[in-house]
Amino acid sequence: MILNISGEDYLSRQFIPTLWHQMQDFTALHIHSVLPKEICEDIVAKVYKNKEHWNSDFDGLQFSFGQAYYPHLEAGTTEEYFQKVPNSDEQFNQALPGLQEMAMKFLSSIVGGYVQQRDGWSGPGIHIFPANGYAANNAGEVHFDLDGISDSDRIALSPAITMILMLQPPTLGGGLKVWNTKYSGRTADELALDEIPSTIVEYGIGDLVFINSYTLHQIQPFQSQCDRISLTVHSIYNGECWDCWF
Ligand SMILES: O=C(O)CCC(=O)C(=O)O
Ligand SMILES: [Fe+2]
């Protein structure tokens, strides 16, 4: 159910447009060790250096560097999201020059098309799930990545893909559970999760993971002295190229 590829194989081919198509038969594409440990550690150090710019989401249960859309959607503050994006993206790019671009290049190499930041939306951003925090103790929400996908795109199931780059995995747990089911109009609550086959993607440092955004998934509980830190980018095919956001 998971398509596993080594970072070496991925990087030596650089551009693998067929992978996205192969992915239709899998619940996740897991490319191991794409970014070296030292680079991930350097990014993480810069994330902590910029703690003053983190956003506290869901009353401090989790944090983001870069504006994430879905907490604003859930809080009914999407206007604030769009107001904050320009400044927040600037802070992100000052702290981590080239990272958004690199993430978009990784995404582009898998979808086999041009990837652009959605006009007015945040570029790829970072999630910080605190050690011993809510997600660590209880797991994340079971969800499809539908937030930010328009009603018409959702109904048409326009191609949509989510990419995660793991920058600081927890010591134990914290993988991504993926169920072998795609969105078909029913919410996660309406599904009999126990009856659907699932598997867990166990992240290593520097791993890249791609899922179809309509695939049901959930961050698993974790134990660690360190926070769980990953970069996420969502994308949708607009008929010509791929629009991405966080
Ligand atoms: O960090 C992860 O493993 C997944 C994050 C996620 O599900 C999301 O950002 O929608
Ligand atoms: Fe998600």
If you measure from the C-alpha of residue 210 to the centroid of ligand 2, how many angstroms do you get, rounded to a whole number? Answer: 11
d(CA 94, CA 203): 27
| Ligand 1 atom 9: residue of nearest CA | 232
Q: What is the pLDDT of residue 1?
A: 87
d(CA 2, CA 27): 6
d(CA 180, CA 27): 6
* Ligand 1 binding pocket, CB closer than 6 Å: 127, 145, 162, 164, 176, 217, 219, 230, 232
CA terminus-to-terminus distance, the chain: 26
Atom of ligand 1 nearest to the CA of 176: 3
Q: What is the pLDDT of residue 26?
A: 84
Closest ligand (CA of 70): 1
Q: Which of 162, 135, 131, 151 lies closest to 225, judged by CA?
A: 131
82 close to 120: Cβ distance less than 8 angstroms: yes
Q: What is the pLDDT of residue 152?
A: 96
The one-letter code for the residue type at 27 is T
If you measure from the C-alpha of residue 166 to the centroid of ligand 1, how many angstroms do you get, rounded to a whole number? Answer: 10
Q: Extract the tokens encoding 186.
A: 């029913």
Closest ligand (CA of 68): 1
We report the CATH number of the domain holding residue 150 as 2.60.120.620
d(CA 125, CA 8): 25
Question: What range defines the domain where residue 104 resides?
Answer: 2-245
State pTM to two decimals: 0.96
Q: What is the pLDDT of residue 29?
A: 93
Q: Which of 170, 181, 158 lies closest to 111, judged by CA?
A: 158
The one-digit pLDDT tens for each residue of the chain (246 residues) are 899 999 999 998 765 666 777 777 789 999 999 999 999 999 999 999 999 999 999 988 999 999 999 999 999 999 999 999 999 999 999 999 999 999 999 999 998 899 999 999 999 999 999 999 999 999 999 999 999 999 999 999 999 999 999 999 999 999 999 999 999 999 999 999 999 999 999 999 999 999 999 999 999 999 999 999 999 999 999 999 999 999
CA torsion angle 75 103 50 38 (round to 10): 140
Atom of ligand 1 nearest to the CA of 218: 7
If you measure from the C-alpha of residue 148 to the centroid of ligand 1, how many angstroms do you get, rounded to a whole number? Answer: 14
Q: What is the pLDDT of residue 25?
A: 75
Q: What is the pLDDT of residue 16?
A: 67
d(CA 159, CA 236): 6
Q: Which of 218, 223, 246 lies closest to 234, judged by CA?
A: 246
| Ligand 1 atom 1: residue of nearest CA | 230
Q: What is the pLDDT of residue 46?
A: 98
Q: What is the pLDDT of residue 45?
A: 98
Number of domains the chain contains: 1
